A and B are shown apart, each in its own frame.
Chain A
Amino acid sequence: MSLVTEIQEIAAQYPQSRSAIMPALHLAQKKYGWLPREAFEEVGEALGLTPAYCMSVASFYDMYHLEPVGTHIVEVCTNISCALVGAQATLEAFERELGIRPGETTADGEVTLRTVECYGGCGWGPVVAVDQRYHEPVKPEDVPRLVQDLRNA
């Protein structure tokens, strides 16, 4: 099924089709890995919206990538509950293991590292999400194995 058809099926669930823009952007991002111009054109075509409007919505939300990202994404929560129990040390372990700073992607395009605001795992921090799957808690000593698993994935 084409992306446009798939989006239109989702849109049928809503009283107004524009409401489907968020699931549509999630789907488009799954197809492209991020949200290039073509993604906004397809979402716009499916929902009767301009690509510019679609981009204006996407740019409001943290989970939509407006630039290319790695095949895998490692997200470290550094909000206060996680930070109080060592999130910075966990983040620095990822920086060492991957050789990049938060916000960057490894040279081979495999892994993007970023810090995020509260992911709602505060009691089991530090919380790390790898490709949207939570790992709780992640201590610095857990990091080499997590990165190895990613490289082998």
Chain B
Amino acid sequence: MPEHHVVLAGAEERPLTAIADYRAAGGYAQLAKARQMEPQQVIQELLDSNLRGRGGAFFATGRKASFIPRDSAKPVYLTVNADESEPGTFKDREIMLRVPHRLIEGCLITAHAIHSKNVFIYIRGEYLAEFEILRAALDEARAADLFDGVTVVLHRGAGAYICGEETGLLESLEGKRGQPRSKPPFPAISGLYASPTLINNVETVATVPKVLELGAAEYAKIGPPDSTGTRVFSLSGNVARGGNYELVNGTTLRELIYDFGGGIPDGRELKAIIPGGSSTPILTASEVDTPLDYDALTKAGTMFGSGAIIAIDDRCCMVQLGLRVAQFYMHESCGKCTPCRVGTRWMVQILHALEDGSAKQGDLDLLLDVCDRILGKCLCPLGDAAAMPVASYVNRFRKEFQEHIDHGACPYGGASSLEHVFAPVDQHHHSPVAAEVPV
């Protein structure tokens, strides 16, 4: 099966960064159409298309939009989450680089649907080239009088994974430290500046014009019923051809890794697959025929997540993988909830002990116990994002973890692909958890 371009359509030959090129490819026609429609009709189209959010939670886009009160006395805000930071994920970046106007068109259509006059696009600070392209595209769209009274503010972040979490993002956008809020109230009722706020991912928003163009019924025919449409899948790790591939949902991991990605290089064997970004539970190589859709991945005990697939070959030590993943979440923990702040640090300490051969038998169960005491016990999913994958490495590769204890050393003997990787958590002075007394 070839790639199926919906979100990236028209940008195969060259990026559609110029408004004239985007218009020549049919761009902004759906905005004109949407503005002739009643806002509720637009939401109905989204509901009928069964489009679900591409940020990671896969929540029904139309349903989320319908939570915004229609008679709000306060202003209604649309906030686009372009803070793409889940390790392994680089699809929103591709969308902003190749079809920035489709994102803008999606913003303006969505703003119409929820009666919003104020749009904020929160883009991660590191995406400087993407920021510049989007800024230029916004200037072009503004000059072409497409905004119709809507203001669009492009807001740069400054390096914090947690600002991809919707309430952390709102805090950050309000000029505070990006620490998540407790819910309820949900952003649809009390979000940015305590006003009704819809927060959608870049890919979700950029899909909206295509849903209107194809019509909800036609869009819903693409892919399996629970996961309609396409996704821009980010493929990385030990594959011959990493990159973004827009495919119909339901394509198998095998097709993505072998047909599109060219398989595992250097004559190595596939060992494991991270299917939806580093926060999702791992799959073994024997599960490579699992389809990339919500139901199939849930049934396999993992998650669709951000659509980021990381292929891992047989050179990788699973304890080292767990350590590096735990180090990331420890570094990015905002420090607000104790189970996450202390638990991620504790996980790192146990994984270090396992890797250097000093762990005792009870430490393996202790590690799982720590994971269990983080899961579901924090205000936001960051703690879960550390606990779920690491617990899955232990459960699926328990023998390998046990070998570290039995041999008092890493069985890879220094030859693992993740040997001695230097993590930022060992370097920074300003991490919110760095000064904490070790547990």
Interface residues of A in 136-152 (CB under 8 A from B): none
Chain B, Cβ-Cβ closest to A95: B422
Q: Any chain A CB within 8 A of the CB of B57?
A: no
Q: Which of B129-147 contact A (CB under 8 A)?
A: 129
Asked if A84 contacts B427 (CB within 8 A), the reply is no
Partner of B127, one of A15, A87, A120: A120
Q: B90, B316, B334, B417: which has the most chain A beta carbons within 10 Å? A: B90
Tell me the residues in window 96-153 of chain A with beta carbons closer than 8 Å to chain B beta carbons: 102-103, 114-125, 129, 132-134
Q: Given A25-B158, A120-B126, is A15 in contact with B89 using a C-beta cutoff of 8 Å? A: no
Does the CB pair B158–A80 fall under 8 Å?
no
Give min CB distance, A16 to chain B, whole Å. Answer: 6
Known: A87-B421, A88-B420, A125-B242. A22 touches B84 (CB 8 A): no
User: Does A85 count as interface, using CB distance less than 8 angstroms?
Assistant: yes
Complex-state Cα separation, A9 to B422, whole angstroms:
41
Chain A minimum-CB-distance residue to B163: A61
Cα distance, A22 to B175, chains bound together (Å)? 7
The answer to whether the Cβ of B231 comes within 8 Å of any Cβ in the partner chain is no
Q: Does B428 contact A (CB under 8 A)?
A: yes
Q: How far is the CA of A25 from the CA of B155 in the complex (A)?
A: 12
Q: How many A residues face the partner with a CB closer than 8 A?
A: 51
Verify B156–A79 contact, CB threshold 8 A: no
A60 B423 Cβ-Cβ under 8 A:
no
Q: Which of A1-51 contact B (CB under 8 A)?
A: 13-16, 18-23, 25-26, 47
Whether B157 lies near A80 (C-beta < 8 A) is no
Q: Closest chain A residue to B128 by CB distance?
A: A132
A21-B85 CB under 8 A given contacts A122-B236, A123-B242: no
User: Cβ of B89 and Cβ of A26 under 8 Å apart?
Assistant: no
**Complex contacts, A66 vs chain B, CB 8 Å:** 429-430
Q: Which A residues are in CB contact (< 8 Å) with B90?
A: 120-123
Tell whether, in the assembled complex, residue A15 and residue B193 are in contact, meaning their CB atoms are under 8 Å apart: yes
Select the residue from A66, A118, A133 with max chain B CB neighbours within 10 A.
Answer: A118
CB distance from A52 to the nearest CB of B (A): 13
Q: Please choose the segment from B12-20, B102-110, B324-332, B339-347 that sits at the chain A interface, where 4 or more of its residues have CB less than 8 A away.
A: B324-332
Q: Which among B124, B158, B172, B419 is the interface contact of A64 at CB below 8 angstroms?
A: B158
Chain B residues closer than 8 Å to A47, beta-carbon distance: 175
B residues less than 8 Å from A93 (CB atoms): none
> Given contacts A19-B175, A22-B157, A117-B424, could you give 17 more A-B pairs where the C-beta distance is less than 8 Å?
A16-B174, A22-B125, A62-B160, A63-B158, A64-B158, A80-B88, A80-B237, A84-B236, A84-B237, A88-B420, A102-B427, A116-B126, A121-B90, A122-B237, A122-B308, A123-B244, A124-B243
B residues apposed to A, CB below 8 Å: 75, 84-90, 93, 118, 124-129, 151, 153, 155-161, 172-179, 193, 234-238, 242-244, 274, 278, 308, 310, 312-313, 316, 321, 324-325, 328, 331-332, 334, 417-424, 427-430, 432
